[in-house]
Structure 1
């Protein structure tokens, strides 16, 4: 809260109080954005893992007993 006081000749002639309220935050939108990022990262990680496994399997020699 802010208080502005205007003086003239040492006397208060006007006093104004201002209080600022934050706007309401929509947490659902924020959570949806966070979830989208997490899913994207998870799928990118799985893709890297699968590509690495595919490369490893190509280099393996299978011996049948």
Structure 2
């Protein structure tokens, strides 16, 4: 899942307390630590956009 920090704060990463999640979205695992930070409002889940390609079929 991708998350980013709420504006104006830095959230320490789970296993690296001197490395932070800021406003740039990062990929994380949905551990209890991150779920708690999301519930507290410190982290915001970023919706992933998926591009779909349309394949045209030609009858020949």
Shorter-chain TM-score: what band? under 0.3
TM-score, normalization by structure 2: 0.27
**Higher fraction of strand:** 2
**Higher fraction of helix:** 1
Highest relative contact order (Cα 8 Å, sep 6+), 1 or 2?
2
